[in-house]
Chains A and B, each alone.
Chain A
Amino acid sequence: MTRTTERVLRAWATVTAGAFALGVGFVADADAKTALKVYTALEEEQLPIYKEAFEKAYPDIEINWQRDSTGVITARLLAEKDNRQADVIWGLAATSLMLLDKNGMLDGYKPKGYDQIKDQFKDTRSDKPTWVGMDAWAAAVCFNTAEGEKLGIAAPKTWADLLKPEYKGHIVMPNPGSSGTGFLTVSSWLQSMGKEGGWAYMDKLHENINSYLHSGSKPCKSAAAGEYLVGISFAYPGVNLMNQGAPVQVILPSEGIGWDMEATAIMKGTPHFEAAKAVADFSASAEANALYNNSYQVLARKDVNAKVPENYPANEGELLINNDFYWAAENREAILQEWQKRYGSKDAPKS
């Protein structure tokens, strides 16, 4: 677009914008409450509970959620970089927040009770952390017990089990290029098995994989619905479906599991910085952590006695690998390229 057309367009736009504004009918909020735009990838059913608890603690602030899946909401935040709409992010993958941080979009703030947050859940590189963890979600294997019985195949217990010939054509996992869960799983294999060991493992696993799906939770949901026997995914969707009666078992492979955390951050340049701080404070509080515990087992705070949520696999905390998020972030592009080269053009399965 040339300068002149841009100028002409702008002039035209100013006129129409006025007309639009009239048409849309903006009504000034008579309420004295501060309305915060909070971007999130939390599960839909958690939102009203968190909102109610927060607004009870801070009656002057009102939360307006903007919720979508991790990929969509991150893409949207990045696309809105030059004119940010969000005030706070509450409940988005820490790896996404690191990406926003790299783009200079987050403001540093140390919330109340910061010393009670475990070290893995902190941005330890900085004195004024730009994000603070809430809870962890880790890789898991969903296994359909009903189909397993029909086929006479037992549930896997380890990552190594998945290489057994009986699983050939029965495993689905997320494409790491499309899904954060897929990437954290691949990056955890590379970290825990070493670079060469990790790729060698994936080469063999590739032989057993039926297909790579475009969403992190879909493999587990497909396994729960009996579409596939084994879905590499994370625990929450499996547990959720198990509670609805699906014949699915959620397994945490004993070699250790990759993980990411949900975290909170304040957007740089928000006009409601004080209110945003309140969200950061609340998100790091013991009260909020107790709420997170209804869905997740590993929490950010040391002082909250975490229980195991219903049907959730135990000992998740012990199995988390020592995940180097910075290493993963720096090598992300190279890993995805290598992955794409090795497995990206797999032909459609015959089965």
Chain B
Amino acid sequence: MADATVQSPSLQAQRLVRPVAGAEEWAQRLLILLLGTWLLVTVLVPLSVLFRKAAENAQGQFIGLANFAAYFRDPALVQSIYNTLTVALISTFITILLAFGFAYAITRSAIPFRSFFRSIALVPLLAPSLLPGLALVYLFGNQGILKSWLFGHSVYGPIGIVMGEVFFALPHAVMIIVTALSAADQRLYEAAESLRAKPSRIFWTVTLPGCRYGLVSATFVVFTLVFTDFGVPKVIGGQYNVLATDVYRQVIGQFNFQMGAVVGLLLLAPAILSFAVDRLVQRKQVALLSARAVPYQVTRRPRIDAACLILCVLVSIFVLSILGMAVFGSLIKFWPYNLSLTLSKYNLGALGTVGWGALWNSLIMASLVALVGTIIVFCGAYLVEKTKTWPWARSAVHFGAMIPLAVPGLVLGLAYIFFFNAPGNPLNVIYGTMAILVVNTVGHFYTVCHLTAVTALKQVDNEFEAVSASLKVPFYKTFWRVTVPVCLPAILDIAAYYFINAMTTVSAVIFLYSSDTKLLSIAAINTDDAGNTAIACAMGTIIVMVSATARVVQLIASRKLHARTQAWRNR
């Protein structure tokens, strides 16, 4: 509750410090410029180079909107748009519902094993997109062990896509909503209770509004992810065409970059919409964690706790059975005709250089991405959220940060070839090296990390900045001494998220790796292509184990840090 008595001194403080902040403001502006340039070079300019192709013919001549006209004459297009919207809306609805319930359970209920459940919800992040696809075939395909559960419906089509997308999008939503729910001011609840508000009323008037920002973010993140994902529909979509598989058909099937760019542009629509809504919601968001906030105290509520526990168990079963099936797939001799078990698929050494070498490349890349990406994202989010200078520039940077989410990896990968491999571009020295994979991956997964950082930062009262400014402490000191320690859990989350996504990513880097920088996730796709599904499952399982290790390390570190830096949260 940012009450009046708190607000006025802070305003005074701001007015007082404005004249002396000159040099500092320029430093901030320089940093914002740097960040903007980074986003321009790693995301926007490559994309604009690709999208320019949407208005060109195959010979590179400008033909205006002719490609769009040709595309809209395609009879399958309307169907694709309709299909895409259908699965995206259904998947988003289910995902947000589950994710909110789940996040609520692990932040606000008194159920046991909360941190365990939280890790389970993040499990899908650990797996390359190939794994749920293969697992769903093993589970619900025509030979699937649970085929009868679908009552004669085929898993190939909307049913399979929705299952795969919910699995795939769940952790993103849980991550954002948990961040939003975990910062609550106990004083609000105490006030509500002393006013004798009913629990349901408290839920609708305190809990929901408090996490509104996170909820809207999560909805758009999930919608955009599902709208643009092509990994799941490609494997399990069967005959059900969506826009992302249309891009694939144009680019990989017909080498028609121009048409690929046209569809790629259509895929950007939800990101633009999400930015507009984001701005609207944000205007109404107030900091939940004012400098006087008191952390939320979980109390026992037997009925609600029981419901929470059931939900957590069901979601965990859904997640673990998909993963478990993939692991099982890596251990069987020959699906579905010889189900005896073997460990032989894990002998990657037998595959020559693509085996362990690829794992090593993946590890190096993921570590670099986690390091570089986290620093850029967090500093960037701080500049956007906590500085006061150049509102238009911060707004532009924030918009830039939303774009990568909407861009299918395939499109981003191609855009990188056209931009970074252009003969006149001095940056082309990084083409074919590990550096381009790192730059690309940092850019590709920027949005969710940015949103996590922004959500975390929003919950730290701006008063900290105002007070330190009035004490003439430079902003970077406040940043380093207050903001970073307070946000450390979120920072670790971001680092782990980057690491794990770098381990599992395929679609963008498939155009950018070279023989020396082949990644294990790509090796898994290629191995599946060659017909060795079980070895592909084994590679996927190794990726899961590495990612899981990273997550465990993060959790341990987070807990240790929690004791040291988050003690203020406890009374």
Contact = CB atoms under 8 A, between A and B. Distances in A.
Interface string A315-351: 0000000000000000000001000110011111111
A225 B157 contact: no
Given A85-B431, A228-B142, A241-B531, A71 B253 contact: yes
Given A44-B354, A85-B431, A345 B75 contact: yes
Interface stretch (A108-116, A122-130, A209-217, A249-257): A209-217
Contacts of A82: 421-423
A221 B531 contact: yes
A255 B327 CA distance: 43
Contact of A76 (B76, B152, B157, B511): B511
A212 B352 CA distance: 34
Contacts of B529: 69, 215, 217
Interface in A62-112: 64-69, 71-72, 74-76, 78-80, 82-83, 85, 99
B417 A240 contact: no
A58 interface: no
Given A211-B239, A225-B533, A226-B337, A336 B432 contact: no
B429 to A, nearest CB: 5
B75 A344 contact: yes
B239 A226 contact: no
Contacts of B526: 44, 67-69
B506 to A, nearest CB: 11
Interface string B146-179: 0000001110111000000000000000000000
Nearest to B156: A211
Interface residues of B, number: 73
Q: Is the interface of A mostly helix, strand, loop or mixed?
A: mixed
B515 interface: yes
A196 interface: no
A324 B369 CA distance: 49
Does more than half of chain B's interface fall in helix, strand or loop, or is it mixed?
helix
Interface stretch (A15-23, A132-140, A272-280): A15-23
A226 B142 contact: yes
A13 B41 contact: yes
Contacts of A56: none
Interface stretch (A159-167, A175-183, A185-193): A175-183
Contact of B252 (A64, A178, A225, A240): A178
Interface residues of A, number: 74
A329 to B, nearest CB: 12
Given A85-B421, A225-B533, A79 B414 contact: yes
A258 interface: no
B381 interface: no
A179 B253 contact: yes
Contact of A80 (B238, B239, B421, B424): B421
Nearest to B256: A333
A232 B74 CA distance: 26
A16 B439 CA distance: 12
B336 A225 contact: yes
Interface string B512-546: 00111000000000110111010000000000000
B40 A20 contact: no
A1 interface: yes
B510 interface: yes
Contacts of A80: 417, 421
A64 B255 CA distance: 25
A159 B193 CA distance: 76
A9 interface: yes
A44 B527 contact: yes
A111 to B, nearest CB: 24
Contacts of B76: 340, 344-345
A14 interface: yes
A214 B248 contact: yes
Query: Which of A43, A82, A345 has the most C-beta atoms of chain B within 10 angstroms of its own C-beta?
Result: A345
A337 to B, nearest CB: 9
A273 B550 CA distance: 46
Contacts of B213: none
A24 B430 CA distance: 8
A78 B257 contact: yes
Given A74-B255, A212-B239, A227-B141, A245 B334 contact: yes
Contact of A345 (B41, B241, B515): B241
Contact of B156 (A23, A237, A340, A348): A348
A348 B79 contact: no
A43 B530 contact: yes
B425 A10 contact: yes
Contact of A83 (B158, B354, B421): B421
B530 to A, nearest CB: 6
A45 interface: yes
A349 B239 contact: yes
Contact of B427 (A17, A23, A43, A74): A17
Given A10-B424, A66-B515, A227-B142, A99 B255 contact: yes
Interface of B: 37, 40-41, 45, 48-49, 74-76, 79, 137, 141-143, 152-154, 156-158, 234, 238-241, 245, 248-249, 251-255, 257, 333-338, 351-354, 414, 417-418, 421-435, 510-511, 514-516, 526-527, 529-531, 533
11 contacts: A20-B427, A20-B430, A64-B515, A71-B252, A75-B414, A175-B253, A221-B533, A226-B142, A245-B334, A344-B241, A348-B157
Given A21-B429, A79-B421, A348-B156, 7 more contacts: A20-B429, A24-B430, A24-B433, A67-B515, A340-B74, A341-B75, A348-B154
Closest 10 CB pairs of A and B: A348-B157, A178-B253, A71-B252, A79-B417, A344-B76, A211-B239, A14-B426, A211-B238, A345-B76, A17-B426
